[in-house]
Amino acid sequence: MTSPQTATDDSPVPDFTALLRLDGKVFIVLGAGQGIGRQTAHALAQAGATVVCVGRRAAPTQAVADEIGGIALTGDAMVRADMQRIADQALQRFGHIDGLVDTLGMPRIKPLAEFDDADWQWQFDTSLKHVFLSTQIVAPLIGQSGGGAMVFVSSTAGVAVTSNRAAYGASKAALQQFVKAAAFEYGNVGVRINAVAPGLVSTPRVRGNLSEAMMRAAGTRYPLGQIGTPAQIASVILFLAGGLSAHVNGQTVYAEGGMAARSAIYDLSSAEPPEPPAAA
């Protein structure tokens, strides 16, 4: 740090660009095989981190690890034994764990009236169980390593209603509350815990379910004129993972192009006001 002398402020000025670097850090990325997870693995690696790529499917997970010079571990983060093994293997290999990014989750899309108990349990497990297990198992190891960051991927569905996603929205709202509470529990050992909430993102899964025309049409509803990309979400994750966000904790950062701020009457704002009713 340098200390420029001015008449009003001589506090040290950090090297802000250096705060983006993650040299010597070890990060675990859950769901690294595609989409936001793959882009996040690249982002962390470009910033200097060693990345442990984790996924249930060996081939795509290994492919991403090869792309970035990381290592691949196969396992199901919703199974305690697998999550414990992943953490143990990373710690044994590198001697420390400095961060974790969890990109897992997907919605079960259908009316709430059609949900049965199994559907409900599946949705909450798919959104939250891995968050609980990775925090409980990995956060203490990050603390023992000197502190670091955990970042989870939520969704604007946690605060905004989307059709046929009532259970998904409830589970993502729960994730955001979990992040707030966990940040208090693990802050005293130097572990920051945050989330990023995207809107619609052109991941491989989304592209497999929506046509290009549908995604372009959705983009017209966004102030920026387009839906998000996995790389744009990974950029926010990179910020939350490093020193530039050193005083950000327990937060959910909305990376959704401004769509969540849209009023229901936005499109009516430029319309001519209706004629007053005729006098009786």
Q: Any bridge partners for residue 52, and if so which?
A: 28, 71
Distance from C-alpha of 32 to C-alpha of 38, rounded to nearest angstrom: 5
Alpha-carbon span 184 to 197, nearest angstrom: 20
Q: Is residue 168 flagged as an active site residue?
A: yes
**Phi, then psi, of 74 in degrees rounded to 5:** -100, 135
Judging by beta carbons within 10 Å of its beta carbon (0-12, 13-18, 19+), is residue 218 exposed, middle or buried?
middle
In the set 168, 222, 254, 266, the catalytic residue is 168
- Alpha carbon distance 33, 41 (integer Å): 9
Q: Which residue has the tokens 């492919």?
A: 63
Instruction: Give me the amino acid identity at 4.
Output: P
Report the catalytic residues.
168
